[in-house]
Structure 1
Amino acid sequence: MSENQNQPLTTASGIPYYYHEDSQSVGARGPLLLQDFILHEKMAHFNRERIPERVVHAKGSGAFGTFTVTHDITRYTRAKIFNQVGKQTRVFTRFSTVGGEKGSADTERDPRGFAVKFYTEEGNWDLVGNNTPIFFIKDPKKFSDFIHTQKRDPYTNCKSTTMMFDFWSLNPESLHQIMFLFSDRGTPYGYRHMHGFGSHTFSFINDKNERHWVKFHFKSLQGIRNFTLEESVKMKGEDPDFAQRDLLQSIDNKAFPQWALKIQLMTEEQAKSYRYNPFDLTKTWSQKEFPLIDVGVMELNENPRNYFADVEQAAFAPAHVVDGVSYSPDKMLQGRILSYPDAHRYRLGANYEQLPVNRCPYAINNYERDGAMRIDGNGGSSPNYFPNSFDNIKPDPAYQQAPWELDSNVAAHFDRNGEGENDHYSQPGIFYREVLSAEDKQHLVHNFVSAMKGIDGPRKEDIINRQLCHFFRADIGLGMAIAQGLGVNLEQAMPQKHTPQSA
């Protein structure tokens, strides 16, 4: 049929029909007939158009593109994606706000999700992180409690500054991340002008089965650009979809955004003696001690033809690593290995990896069968069990994983703030003193003061003073500036049993 020829309107099962706008009824003004299945189909499908939105990262934008290897790192990893300088791999990248609902403004103060799906010849590799190298917590048992504070109060059904700072003030491990969040990095100018991080510690394994711990950094080649608090609030009202529109239009206009992928590496021996737990998600690795190593460039150059099909149904999981890339003892990573695929099976169904945006474009051989929305032929008449006498699918010993040498054989509930794990102030202090410019410091204080003025209720003073104690312990100048901005008596706010660092 030619493109200019009319094509018949059909049902979802391909049956042509005519009455798309008029329902069957008994007479012009009588009741409708149960037999009008077109009416049922249209209404039933409409009722199901909205799949459950993501509990976190609900509002997002995405695009396809390419990753190109620019530097040789084969001595560190045998992953085939990196096996040749100049090699290109197709990618899909999704950016998102973390705490906002699907209809929220994408200029809100919030971390930004930064997730990349690499379609490699050895399976899909999902590198799922944020625009910050750290996070609010370091044990996955705390995740649901934390996210509840970022959502809506169960009584008012409104966002609550009191809930947020109550939680943060009771969890000093959050300080490093909220310093990032309340700097202007918490309100990036769209998605093109921010860095991305794998955040967790992962591992590289080379062809000799040697392991290095690794952190991933995506550096924006557009340069960093952020909104101030006032600019972000203004844009929230003018265009709540600013970041989505900015990314879409830049690609439509062929101003393709790019990020340089760099890595930090740490040997297993270095990890044993590093002054911080290298697997603690609330900590960074010093770039002076573990300098960035160039790997390649990611370019986004193709907008999805349909937002729902690709961006909304995209499913990323830190569990999805390829040969030559592996996990680490990072407790938050270990928790996400379980929770992300579980969330996708709930939201999209057991066969979510068959959806085009999630499907591996290379060979898939397994014995998974059935389930809702099976769309790939379900294995046809081939066996659905292993071992069997009828096919030639065999486990390949070349993909055996290198064993881990564990430091302990004790299983227990270890205190996440125990000895050696309880320095929550050194790195936030370094971030304030050494990373932020004088203007950035002013904005950080202004942003904290503006937010904390929203704390209310009978425990207002307790929450504010607890949080101020954390600021003082990170840097006395920071604590004084925020306390003064809030009009708090400094003698009451100063910690009594801890000598703060000098500015």
Structure 2
Amino acid sequence: MAEGPIGLLTTSSGKLVDIRETITLNSDSFSNQHHIDLVTHINDERIPERVVHAKGGGAFGYFEVTHDVSKYTKAEVLNGVGKTTKVFVRFSAVLQNLGGNDAARDVRGLSVKFYSKEGIWDLLCLSTPVFFHRDPIDFPNFIHSVKRNPKTNLFDFSTRWDFITKKPEALNGFLHVLSDYGIPNGYRKMDAFAIHTFVINNKHGDKYFVKFNFRTEQGVEVLTTDEAARVGRDPDHFNRDVYNAIEKKNYPAWRLEMDVMTMETIKHIDYNPFEVTRLWKKGTYITVPIGRLVLNKNPDNFFRTVELSAFNPANLVPGIPGPMDNLFRTRRSSYRDAQTYRLSINHNKIKINQPLYWKVYNRDGKPPVEENMNDAPNYYPNSFSGPVPYIDPARPKERFTVFDSNAIDLEPASYFYNHYLCDDGQRQRLVNNTARTLVSVSPDLRRRVIRLLTLTDPQLGMKVEAGLEVALETPQPPPPNAIKIPRHNHKARHQICTIVNNYKNYYD
């Protein structure tokens, strides 16, 4: 903070405040406009809390292109080795309220706002590489099942497991959360995945299908349930960690890469690559490095930047027309509606959300309206001075249709348990974390969960059932140390290397 006064105090209308107006005792407080300014403003200085991703932090930085990817996309932001683009990044926990705990077992968000010369590109990512459902109509029900119980206002594992047993496609994502990957050791030490399969195109109109992933340069590090309880004594530990690292000039960084499939490859694979609840299979794609994301500046005002920031996956740029799955199609409209409710229809005119260039026919509404396009016509087409559209000659002309299946497929969850997890130690911790969540649910629901887990993998079901019996009778063990996970590819069917050798499986 700056030292010393920065000017004379005024009311919101600009009237200078006399020092005697800073006290209302023994005075006519209702004639004191400074007093009225303060007490009425505080009633309205909060905005609606985000339904999901409410608690988080953010920082400014830049994205630098390190590899030539012009073969795949004509997007200006990803082309030109050495080019840098200003970014704003918001970190968040999905389920926690504004006053929640950073170290809760939860999915984390890492959203990047690229201030591209071709417009804002918002790339929204999660700390898990798979999502919980593929049908967008399930989203409100899924969120209700994992948020607070409407009667107790407490988080409730009964509602979570009830939804999962009714919608088994959610199991794969939930196992990720219950595993060692469910609690990263801070936002700096996690990878992040854009979940959807994006369609991109080059300047010739050739299409490619990609998944964008951020790989942390700090090394992936996670917390066990009991270690997280210790870290969680500071409910703001994750935000504090990012802020302090930047202040110490230990700038957090991630590598952006994309897994790529060609049009020919996608026609001959034996699974749906647009399915957000599963990973791509090994051998069906190549991984292409793109660039480097670096965060080097903390916001000067948290509310003006982090709280007023609005990320919308529909904010795309030429060369990245975006995903084709139904979930993303719904997100294109629902995110905009959420931002309009929270920040007003002019949320993209708030400074943190402003593109470098914009000319629109939308006018008026709740402030900010900026110059409101002055006297340019507010309709199109017109014969006067309004903005005109352009023609993108590289826009792909082929249409590609994807048909979804309603069949229940437990193979992705089985693969996660048997191959994605590093070793028996990780599998046992997943078992123990799962068993703990079943302690408070009804016997009937426990049986449904055990059956679903057994259908996924007989050993998983058997071990969780045995672990539940122990959890019902035995006090929890003392907390161990945090786990550092070696660098490896989190995605697809790559065999994962052994976790820290000297880590003791204290549950055995």
Structures share fold, TM-score greater than 0.5: yes
SS of the aligned residue for 1:332 comes to: helix
Deviation at 1:376, TM superposition (A): 1.2
2:350 is the alignment partner of 1:355: yes
2:108 is the alignment partner of 1:107: no
SS of the aligned residue for 2:323 comes to: coil
How far, CA to CA, are the matches of 1:291 and 1:267 in structure 2? Answer: 10
Which deviates more from structure 2 when the two are superposed, residues 427-436 or residues 389-398?
A: 389-398
Match of 1:379 in 2: 373
From 65, 71, 76, the equivalent of 1:75 is 71
Deviation at 1:51, TM superposition (A): 0.5
**Alignment map for 1:80-91 (pairs within 5 Å):** 80-91=76-87
The change in CA–CA distance for 1:85 and 1:292 in structure 2 (over 3 A counts) is same
2:217 is the alignment partner of 1:221: yes
Match of 2:277 in 1: 282
The change in CA–CA distance for 1:20 and 1:232 in structure 2 (over 3 A counts) is farther
Q: Contact 1:280/1:331 (CA < 8 Å) preserved in 2?
A: no
How far, CA to CA, are the matches of 2:436 and 2:213 in structure 1? Answer: 31
The change in CA–CA distance for 1:404 and 1:233 in structure 2 (over 3 A counts) is farther
From 416, 429, 452, the equivalent of 1:443 is 429
Amino acid in structure 2 at the alignment position of 1:280: E
Match of 1:483 in 2: 465
2:10 is the alignment partner of 1:14: no
Deviation at 1:231, TM superposition (A): 0.8
Deviation at 1:400, TM superposition (A): 7.2
From 120, 125, 130, the equivalent of 1:124 is 120
Deviation at 1:91, TM superposition (A): 0.8
How far, CA to CA, are the matches of 1:445 and 1:212 in structure 2? Answer: 39
Amino acid in structure 1 at the alignment position of 2:451: C
Q: Contact 2:378/2:386 (CA < 8 Å) preserved in 1?
A: no
Amino acid in structure 1 at the alignment position of 2:255: A
From 426, 451, 472, the equivalent of 1:469 is 451
How far, CA to CA, are the matches of 1:233 and 1:169 in structure 2? Answer: 28
**Alignment map for 1:404-443 (pairs within 5 Å):** 404-407=398-401, 418=406, 421-423=407-409, 425-436=410-421, 437-443=423-429
How far, CA to CA, are the matches of 1:176 and 1:219 in structure 2? Answer: 21
Match of 2:359 in 1: 365
Residues 20-51 of structure 1: CA distance to partner in whole angstroms, max 9, x if unpaired? 4323x8xx38x753x44333221121011110
- In structure 1, runs of 5+ residues without a counterpart are 409-413, 489-503
2:455 is the alignment partner of 1:454: no
**Alignment map for 1:242-253 (pairs within 5 Å):** 242-253=237-248
**Alignment map for 1:122-271 (pairs within 5 Å):** 122-236=118-232, 238-271=233-266
Residues 209-259 of structure 1: CA distance to partner in whole angstroms, max 9, x if unpaired? 1111111010111111011000112222x2000000000000101111111
Q: Contact 1:323/1:399 (CA < 8 Å) preserved in 2?
A: no
How far, CA to CA, are the matches of 1:5 and 1:179 in structure 2? Answer: 54
Match of 1:496 in 2: none
Deviation at 1:288, TM superposition (A): 3.3
How far, CA to CA, are the matches of 2:350 and 2:69 in structure 1? Answer: 32
The change in CA–CA distance for 1:8 and 1:340 in structure 2 (over 3 A counts) is same
The change in CA–CA distance for 1:42 and 1:276 in structure 2 (over 3 A counts) is same
How far, CA to CA, are the matches of 2:323 and 2:193 in structure 1? Answer: 16
Which deviates more from structure 2 when the two are superposed, residues 106-115 or residues 264-273?
A: 264-273
Q: Contact 2:269/2:284 (CA < 8 Å) preserved in 1?
A: no
Which deviates more from structure 2 when the two are superposed, residues 129-138 or residues 396-405?
A: 396-405
SS of the aligned residue for 2:42 comes to: helix
2:308 is the alignment partner of 1:300: no
Match of 2:40 in 1: 44
Deviation at 1:169, TM superposition (A): 1.5
How far, CA to CA, are the matches of 2:229 and 2:271 in structure 1? Answer: 37
Deviation at 1:482, TM superposition (A): 0.5
How far, CA to CA, are the matches of 1:301 and 1:126 in structure 2? Answer: 19
Q: Contact 2:202/2:394 (CA < 8 Å) preserved in 1?
A: no
Q: Contact 1:192/1:257 (CA < 8 Å) preserved in 2?
A: yes
The change in CA–CA distance for 1:177 and 1:306 in structure 2 (over 3 A counts) is same
Residues 96-138 of structure 1: CA distance to partner in whole angstroms, max 9, x if unpaired? 0001101000110000011111111000100012111111111
How far, CA to CA, are the matches of 1:63 and 1:399 in structure 2? Answer: 36
Q: Contact 1:170/1:466 (CA < 8 Å) preserved in 2?
A: no
From 388, 394, 401, the equivalent of 2:388 is 394
Deviation at 1:336, TM superposition (A): 0.8
The change in CA–CA distance for 1:5 and 1:374 in structure 2 (over 3 A counts) is closer
The change in CA–CA distance for 1:474 and 1:402 in structure 2 (over 3 A counts) is same
Deviation at 1:200, TM superposition (A): 0.8
Which deviates more from structure 2 when the two are superposed, residues 204-213 or residues 387-396?
A: 387-396
Runs of 4+ in 1 over 3 A off after TM superposition: 3-6
The change in CA–CA distance for 1:145 and 1:16 in structure 2 (over 3 A counts) is same
- Output the aligned Cα RMSD: 2.0
SS of the aligned residue for 1:379 comes to: coil
From 329, 333, 343, the equivalent of 2:328 is 333
Match of 2:474 in 1: none
SS of the aligned residue for 1:128 comes to: strand
Q: Contact 1:99/1:151 (CA < 8 Å) preserved in 2?
A: yes
Deviation at 1:390, TM superposition (A): 2.6
**Alignment map for 1:58-69 (pairs within 5 Å):** 58-69=54-65
How far, CA to CA, are the matches of 1:344 and 1:231 in structure 2? Answer: 36
Amino acid in structure 2 at the alignment position of 1:479: G
Deviation at 1:392, TM superposition (A): 6.0
SS of the aligned residue for 2:187 comes to: coil
How far, CA to CA, are the matches of 1:194 and 1:4 in structure 2? Answer: 40
Amino acid in structure 2 at the alignment position of 1:482: V
Deviation at 1:289, TM superposition (A): 2.4
How far, CA to CA, are the matches of 1:197 and 1:5 in structure 2? Answer: 45
Deviation at 1:431, TM superposition (A): 1.4
Amino acid in structure 2 at the alignment position of 1:434: H
Deviation at 1:443, TM superposition (A): 1.2
Amino acid in structure 1 at the alignment position of 2:291: G
SS of the aligned residue for 1:64 comes to: strand
How far, CA to CA, are the matches of 1:404 and 1:102 in structure 2? Answer: 45
Residues 416-441 of structure 1: CA distance to partner in whole angstroms, max 9, x if unpaired? 653xx431x11211111112122211
How far, CA to CA, are the matches of 2:4 and 2:225 in structure 1? Answer: 52
Identity %: 38
